Amino acid sequence: MHPKISRWLASSTKLLQARISSDSVTSKQFIEELNLRREAVSNSKTLFPRVTLTSLEGVYQIIGANSENAAHGYSGILTLTHDDNRIFASWLIEGADVQTGFGVLLNNVLSVNFVYEQEGQEYNGLVSYEFLSDRLLSGIWIEQGTSTTGVEFGRKLPVALEDPLKYFGFN
């Protein structure tokens, strides 16, 4: 196994295992995600594929931490879309916190400037994702005003993005 894939799986495993508790409902979700990540590693078709604007589009299950050494992280959903050369990202963290951003793709690395609001305060940051395979991404991020970096590991979900406007007719 390639060292970057091995690190992705080890880091994902560490963060997911930290989320597994005595609460069987929540634990079941994280155990299932851990198994899906192991399966994604073994079923990844191409390591370090040539990523295009179209191929990066999709929905990703993410697990991350506010620093690489954080014992307890966060989970959420990352959605990537594009329009011309602009890539749009939206995150739903822990089912409640919404973050949005836009970015560019260069040499299989997606860099996104993001923003979110929390308790009336606006925060800005930058995340860069490396596409490790056709289904896996690994990211590092930083926010304005801090020197601590965070990490994020994503698994592409088998969900097709559809334009909801295609279901409506125009008069």
Mean pLDDT (whole number) for 21-49: 82
CA-CA-CA-CA dihedral for 131, 132, 133, 134, to nearest 10: -10
pLDDT over threshold 90, residue 137:
yes
**d(Cα 127, Cα 99) in Å, to the nearest integer?**
12
* Domains observed in the chain: 3-158 (2.40.128.120)
pTM above 0.75, yes or no: yes
**d(Cα 156, Cα 158) in Å, to the nearest integer?**
7
Mean pLDDT (whole number) for 145-149: 91
> Of 13-22, 129-138, 160-169, which has the strongest mean pLDDT?
129-138
pLDDT over threshold 70, residue 129:
yes
